């Protein structure tokens, strides 16, 4: 790095910082919540004003899939683009080979741990209306189950769990279909009944009558479509990460080497 | 002006400017990528700071039996948290995309220094 | 109110969303023909739905707000379907349909078509979202969706060295632009406590929202935010000095993608910037907010002259067309930068006309490159003797691009010149770079035409197939037909610009979309 570069760099950073600090000078002190945030907090699980509620005690989850659900829908699609990036660039036409030589104990314990991780992922997703968590977080944990197996044992262990690349793609898309159908059902209802309902509408409102059932059997499972749609995201994200790691752990150069020999 | 209340903004301003500098002027693709993700994180920090409530604040999950208006006066901003959650997922897609492209650039050119990659005239 | 018309734009968007994963499933279970049929049908249906939305907004009903999830604006995300956004969405659908038909034969030698169509669908959904959205954060998500899919489609032929380089270059700068925009959303959230574009404008006028209160920070910071937003979007729409990624990315992408990138993506960026500047920051009516418009005007003037000048020295046909895009975007930025209703309507018409012209030119350039096997302009000698029909279509497209009288772009360029001259004050001097741009661009394009019509008969690798010609013909047909109806065009531009510039009616439309309890 030459002297000229340093001068340019330092002056750029200094100028930019000065401009931004100038902008922030008029900002209020840290430590208060803006009224829109308080609106969400007040209304998210307020039984007295059910026209404005999302029926989710966790306000972040309520904002995530109800108040601003359409954002999250496309955020999920942006994540999908990330998976496509990996698949488009690195996917090869090869199937997984089943590894042999694992003892029964290894297989059994691995499956046991696998089931535990999946259960905790499900729990984090489903109870995201009550506790911190959500589809993406649950999906990340679900992916850990597969990634741990890929790293600790081998890619070849995945067929043991009835999983390979095209199956992972399929399951991921089923998650997306679940999200998509929950998005479209209000629109279809609107078209069929001739009344107004909006895409991704969750609870009935005074100006729009469509609504999903609020409680899924149990009192603690409230939130209408929030829980099923989060399960869809769990599957999508978990399988997405699994696909990424399956593709990226493929040994490179092996194919080219084989090509040279033949 | 209370400097403690404004300090987070100043730190965020410095972090964001450093990241924008690195993206524009560093020639190593990997450093550019890191700067992009740090810039996103700086903005995430800005959101979190703006959604924070000082004093005895509680997470934005309503405890059983609490009155909604009391809850609204205690909890931190869920909207800011929501923006951060969304941006984190989006940042992940950016990581995947740019990493894939960088790996392919390395395969084609054998380097990730943008100064040495000059097939196109710009 | 008819429910189908009401839901039509959202249905088009959701269909594009469905297509993105639907064609993966179809691709896993059956061959590429099935993927192509699936994609074609969905694109055609979304074209019809966008047309329905335009009919609804212009003839049957007034502009309206679609409240996503049923939540009124500051709480949820409003989709503003008005006379500014709906016609642009129709243009998006039409070009996506034409490039879809074109792609069937154009990328027939490539593997992985299912990913190609999947990303195309996501880009389409992102564009609809950007045009309709009335929410700052939603614009960020949509920019990311559109940008990332475009970044991946540029190096779609990943074996080609230069296309990967163009992809990473485009990727870094586009994501930088989006990250800067993300910084702006955070600053806006801190200042206004809301993300709705209309509420920002209303609060600047002294409105106190029942949901999100008033303004929380000193508005002296507003010029910084506006400057950052203009910076971010001028990277995305390749206005000088951030134009360097565009010629690489647009020339190295497959031609069917170049048509979309050059015809739509950059212009959607600038259309959204106009929406934010005019409707969000109430440009012109609030003191201190002209900075964005002045920046657009000056950068646009520089951009158009530089773009047109670089066209003269290009030897690669796709790079020449790409530099022409930079020049025309400069013209569009200048029109918006004037801040008058004539300027905005001229820019709006130029966006629409330029979209069709540029898509057509890139598609025909793709045909030429396949036929000659080379991208050099000099290798196009004698092509008109072998491919007379295609050359004729290219000639019409080029004549439209340089603004030959009865064709569509003549009218928008004329209107741009008039709007500059009628803006008064020192604004009239902007006519000099504008006229210079038009002259330089004409010289470069006519030189290219001269090459095509010179030389002896030569041999070609392949001839364009029927779908390719049909899709190009569709684009050229639109150019010719719209050029024959200037009064209709002017009326459309005037209505769109009045919807864009009339801030009060926009605020009323969005914030009073529901008579909610106080």
Helix H, strand E, coil C: the string for chain A is: CCHHHHHHHHHHHHHHHHHHHHHHHCCCCCECCCHHHHHHHHHCCCCCCCCCCCCCCEHHHHHHHHHCHHHHHHHHHHHHHHHHHHHHHHCCCCCCCCCCCCCHHHHHHHHHHHHHHHHHHHHHHHHHHCCCCCHHHHHHHHHHHHHHHHHHCCHHHHHHHCCCHHHHHHHHHHHHHHHHHHHHHHHHHHHHHCCCCCCCCCCCECCECCCCCCCCCCCCCCCCCHHHHHHHHHHHHHHHHHHHHHHHCCCCCHHHHHHHHC
The answer to whether B76 and A146 have CB atoms below 8 angstroms apart is no
Nearest neighbour of C171 by CB, restricted to B98, B108, B117: B98
Structure tokens at A57: 């005690």
Instruction: Quickly state the pLDDT bin for A94 (edges 50, 70, 90).
Output: low
Poorest-confidence range of A46-50, B23-27, C10-14, C306-310?
A: A46-50
User: How far is residue C102's CA from residue C110's CA, in Å, rounded to a whole number?
Assistant: 14
Nearest-CA residue of chain C relative to B108?
C161
Contacts of C14 in chain A (CB under 8 A): 180, 183-184, 187, 199
- In angstroms, the separation between the Cα of residue A261 and the nearest Cα of chain C is 22
B120 and chain C: CB distance < 8 Å anywhere? yes
User: How far is residue A224's CA from residue A206's CA, in Å, rounded to a whole number?
Assistant: 17
- State yes or no: pLDDT of B19 exceeds 60: yes
The answer to whether C129 and C145 have CB atoms below 8 angstroms apart is yes
- State yes or no: pLDDT of A54 exceeds 80: yes
User: How far is residue C144's CA from residue A78's CA, in Å, rounded to a whole number?
Assistant: 7
Structure tokens at B94: 């950016």
- State yes or no: pLDDT of A255 exceeds 50: no
Q: 3-class DSSP state for residue C155?
A: coil
Does C516 map to a domain?
A: no
- Specify the pLDDT at position A150: 82
User: How far is residue B121's CA from residue B119's CA, in Å, rounded to a whole number?
Assistant: 7
**Cβ partners under 8 Å of residue C142, min gap 6:** A74, C126, C127, C129, C130, C133
Instruction: Quickly state the pLDDT bin for A213 (edges 50, 70, 90).
Output: confident
Contacts of C180 in chain B (CB under 8 A): 20
Average pLDDT over residues A198-221: 83
- State yes or no: pLDDT of C201 exceeds 70: yes
Q: Which one of B65, B78, B101, B113 makes the best mutation probe of the A interface by having the most chain A beta carbons within 10 Å?
A: B78
Per-residue DSSP letter, B61: B
- Specify the pLDDT at position A258: 37
Q: Which residues pair with C316 in a beta bridge?
A: C376
Structure tokens at C412: 């928008």
Please state the length of chain C: 518
CATH T-level topology, domain B6-109: Helix Hairpins (1.10.287)
- Specify the pLDDT at position A260: 37
A24 and chain C: CB distance < 8 Å anywhere? yes
Letter string b/e over residues A168-206, b meaning 16 or more CB atoms within 10 A of that residue's CB: bbebbbbbbbbbbebbbbbbeebbeeeebbbbbbbbbbe
Does C54 map to a domain?
A: yes
Does C221 map to a domain?
A: yes
Chain-chain contact of B120 with C252 (C-beta, under 8 angstroms): yes
Instruction: Quickly state the pLDDT bin for A256 (edges 50, 70, 90).
Output: very low
Instruction: Quickly state the pLDDT bin for A91 (edges 50, 70, 90).
Output: confident
- Specify the pLDDT at position A259: 37
Instruction: Return the number of CB contacts < 8 Å for B and C.
Output: 91
Give Cα separations from B41 to A24, B16, C35, C125, C441 (angstroms). 18, 9, 39, 27, 43
Instruction: Return the number of CB contacts < 8 Å for A and B.
Output: 161
Q: Which one of C10, C12, C69 makes the best mutation probe of the A interface by having the most chain A beta carbons within 10 Å?
A: C69
Q: Is the peptide bond between C241 and the residue preceding it cis, with omega within 30 degrees of 0? A: yes
Of residues A110 and C179, more confidently modeled: C179
Q: Please provide the average confidence, as pLDDT, over all residues in chain C.
A: 90
Chain-chain contact of B101 with C171 (C-beta, under 8 angstroms): yes
Nearest neighbour of C68 by CB, restricted to A36, A169, A199: A199
Contacts of A247 in chain B (CB under 8 A): none
User: Exposure of C59 by Cβ count < 10 A (0-12 exposed, 13-18 middle, 19+ buried)?
Assistant: exposed
Poorest-confidence range of A157-166, C77-86, C220-229, C421-430?
A: A157-166
Q: 3-class DSSP state for residue C296?
A: helix
Nearest-CA residue of chain B relative to C143?
B90
Average pLDDT over residues C305-321: 91
- Specify the pLDDT at position A11: 93
Q: Which of residues 35-74 of B touch A (CB under 8 A)?
A: 49-55, 59-62, 68-69, 71-73
Nearest to B29, CA basis, from B106, B118, B107: B106
Q: Which one of B32, B97, B102, B116 makes the best mutation probe of the C interface by having the most chain C beta carbons within 10 Å?
A: B97
Long-range Cβ contacts of C37-40 (<8 Å, 24+ apart) = C39/C100, C39/C117, C39/C120, C39/C121, C40/C100, C40/C101, C40/C104
User: Exposure of C395 by Cβ count < 10 A (0-12 exposed, 13-18 middle, 19+ buried)?
Assistant: middle
| pLDDT tens digits for range C350-404 | 999 999 999 999 999 999 998 888 888 888 888 888 888 899 999 999 999 988 8
Nearest-CA residue of chain B relative to C243?
B122
Q: Which of residues 137-176 of C touch B (CB under 8 A)?
A: 137, 141, 144, 148, 151-152, 155, 158, 161-162, 164-169, 171-172, 175-176
Chain-chain contact of A173 with C514 (C-beta, under 8 angstroms): no
Nearest neighbour of C75 by CB, restricted to A19, A39, A166: A39
Give Cα separations from A201 to A88, A96, A197, B9, C294 (angstroms). 34, 42, 7, 37, 42
Q: What is the dihedral sign for C-alpha C473, C479, C483, C488?
A: positive
Contacts of A17 in chain B (CB under 8 A): 13-14, 17
Instruction: Quickly state the pLDDT bin for B88 (edges 50, 70, 90).
Output: very high
Nearest-CA residue of chain B relative to C246?
B122
| pLDDT tens digits for range B47-85 | 999 988 888 888 888 888 888 888 888 899 999 999 999
Nearest-CA residue of chain B relative to A247?
B100
Nearest-CA residue of chain C relative to A28?
C217
Domain ranges within chain B, ordered by starting residue: 6-109
Q: Whole-model pTM?
A: 0.95
B14 and chain C: CB distance < 8 Å anywhere? no
| pLDDT tens digits for range C314-325 | 889 999 999 999
Chain-chain contact of C68 with A177 (C-beta, under 8 angstroms): no
Q: 3-class DSSP state for residue B58?
A: strand
C159 and chain A: CB distance < 8 Å anywhere? no
| pLDDT tens digits for range C239-258 | 888 888 899 999 889 999 99
Other C-beta atoms closer than 10 Å to the C-beta of C37 total 13
Contacts of C186 in chain B (CB under 8 A): 43, 46-47, 50, 83
Chain-chain contact of B51 with A37 (C-beta, under 8 angstroms): yes
Of residues B42 and A219, more confidently modeled: B42
Does C518 map to a domain?
A: no
Nearest-CA residue of chain B relative to A134?
B85
- In angstroms, the separation between the Cα of residue A209 and the nearest Cα of chain B is 24
Q: 3-class DSSP state for residue C316?
A: strand
Instruction: Quickly state the pLDDT bin for A103 (edges 50, 70, 90).
Output: confident
Q: Which residue segment(s) compose the domain that C73 sits in?
A: 3-511
Average pLDDT over residues C465-489: 91
Other C-beta atoms closer than 10 Å to the C-beta of A218 total 7
């Amino acid at each position: 790095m030459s002297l000229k570069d340093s001068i340019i760099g330092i002056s750029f950073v200094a100028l930019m910082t000065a401009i931004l600090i100038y902008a922030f000078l008029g900002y209020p002190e840290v430590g208060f919540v803006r009224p829109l945030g308080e609106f969400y907090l007040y209304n998210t699980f307020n039984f007295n004003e059910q026209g404005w509620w999302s029926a989710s005690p966790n306000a972040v989850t309520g904002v995530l899939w109800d108040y601003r659900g359409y954002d999250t829908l496309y955020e999920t699609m942006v994540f999908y683009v990330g998976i496509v990036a990996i698949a488009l660039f690195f996917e090869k036409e090869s199937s997984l080979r089943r590894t042999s030589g694992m003892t029964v104990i290894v297989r059994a314990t691995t499956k046991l741990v696998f089931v535990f991780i999946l259960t905790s992922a499900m729990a984090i997703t489903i109870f995201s209306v009550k506790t911190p968590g959500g589809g993406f977080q649950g999906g990340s944990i679900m992916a850990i189950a597969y990634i741990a197996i890929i790293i600790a044992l081998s890619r070849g262990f995945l067929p043991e769990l009835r999983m390979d690349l095209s199956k992972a793609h399929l399951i991921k898309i089923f998650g997306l279909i679940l999200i998509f159908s929950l998005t479209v059902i209000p629109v279809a209802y609107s078209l069929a009944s001739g009344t107004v309902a909006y895409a991704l509408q969750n609870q009935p409102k005074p100006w729009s009558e469509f609504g999903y059932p609020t409680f899924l059997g149990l009192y603690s499972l409230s939130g209408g479509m929030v829980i099923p749609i989060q399960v869809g995201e769990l599957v999508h994200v978990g399988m997405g990460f699994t696909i990424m790691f399956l593709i990226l752990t493929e040994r490179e150069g092996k194919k080219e080497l084989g090509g040279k020999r033949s | 002006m209370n400097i403690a209340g404004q300090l987070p903004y100043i730190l965020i301003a410095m972090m964001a400017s450093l990241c924008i500098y690195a993206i524009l002027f560093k020639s190593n693709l990997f450093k550019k990528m890191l700067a992009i993700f740090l810039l996103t994180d700086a903005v995430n920090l800005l959101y979190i700071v703006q959604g924070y409530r000082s004093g005895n604040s509680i997470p934005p999950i309503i405890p059983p039996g609490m009155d909604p208006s009391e809850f609204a006066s205690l909890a931190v901003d869920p909207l800011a948290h929501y923006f951060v959650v969304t941006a984190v997922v989006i940042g992940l897609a950016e990581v995947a995309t740019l990493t894939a492209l960088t790996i392919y650039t390395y395969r084609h050119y054998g380097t990730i220094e943008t100064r040495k990659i000059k097939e196109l005239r710009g | 109110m008819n429910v189908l018309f009401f839901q039509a734009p959202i249905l088009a968007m959701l269909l594009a969303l469905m297509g993105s994963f639907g064609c993966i499933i179809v691709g896993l279970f059956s061959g590429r023909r099935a993927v192509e049929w699936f994609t074609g049908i969905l694109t055609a249906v979304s074209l019809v739905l966008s047309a329905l939305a335009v009919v609804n907004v212009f003839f049957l009903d007034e502009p309206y707000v679609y409240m996503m999830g049923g939540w009124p604006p500051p709480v949820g995300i409003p989709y503003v379907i008005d006379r500014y956004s709906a016609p642009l969405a129709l243009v998006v659908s039409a070009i996506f349909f034409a490039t879809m038909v074109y792609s069937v034969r154009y990328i027939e030698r490539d593997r992985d078509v299912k990913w190609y169509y999947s990303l195309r669908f996501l880009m389409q959904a992102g564009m609809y979202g950007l045009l309709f959205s009335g929410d700052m954060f939603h614009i960020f998500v949509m920019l990311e969706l559109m940008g990332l899919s475009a970044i991946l489609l540029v190096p779609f032929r990943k074996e080609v060295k230069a296309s990967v380089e163009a992809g990473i270059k485009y990727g870094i700068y586009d994501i930088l632009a989006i990250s800067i925009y993300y910084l702006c959303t955070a600053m806006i959230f801190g200042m206004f406590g809301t993300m709705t574009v209309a509420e920002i404008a209303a609060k600047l006028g002294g409105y106190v929202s029942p949901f999100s209160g008033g303004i929380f920070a000193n508005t002296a910071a507003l010029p910084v935010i506006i400057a950052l937003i203009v910076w971010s979007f001028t990277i995305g729409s390749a206005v000088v000095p951030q134009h360097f990624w565009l010629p690489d990315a647009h020339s190295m992408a497959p031609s069917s993608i170049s048509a979309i990138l050059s015809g739509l993506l950059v212009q959607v960026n600038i259309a959204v910037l106009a929406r934010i500047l005019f409707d969000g920051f109430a440009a012109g009516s609030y003191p201190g907010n002209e900075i964005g418009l002045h920046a657009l005007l000056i950068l646009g003037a520089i951009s158009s002259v530089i773009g047109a000048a670089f066209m003269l020295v290009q030897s690669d046909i796709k790079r020449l067309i790409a530099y022409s895009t930079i020049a025309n975007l400069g013209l569009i930025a200048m029109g918006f930068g004037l801040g008058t209703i004539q300027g905005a309507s001229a820019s709006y018409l130029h966006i629409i006309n330029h979209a069709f012209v540029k898509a057509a030119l890139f598609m025909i350039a793709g045909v030429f490159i396949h036929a000659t096997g080379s991208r050099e302009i000099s290798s196009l000698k004698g092509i008109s003797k072998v491919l007379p029909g295609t050359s004729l279509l290219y000639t019409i497209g080029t004549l439209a691009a340089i603004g030959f009288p009865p064709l569509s772009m003549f009218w928008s360029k004329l209107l741009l010149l008039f709007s500059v001259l009628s803006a008064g004050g020192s604004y009239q001097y902007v006519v000099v770079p504008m006229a210079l741009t038009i002259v330089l661009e004409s010289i470069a394009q006519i030189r290219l035409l001269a090459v095509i019509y010179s030389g002896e008969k030569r041999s070609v690798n392949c001839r364009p197939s029927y779908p390719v010609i049909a899709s190009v013909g569709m684009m050229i047909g639109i150019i010719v037909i719209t050029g024959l109806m200037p009064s209709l065009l002017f009326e459309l531009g005037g209505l769109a610009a009045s919807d864009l510039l009339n801030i009060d009616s926009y605020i009323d439309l969005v914030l009073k979309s529901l008579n909610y309890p106080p």
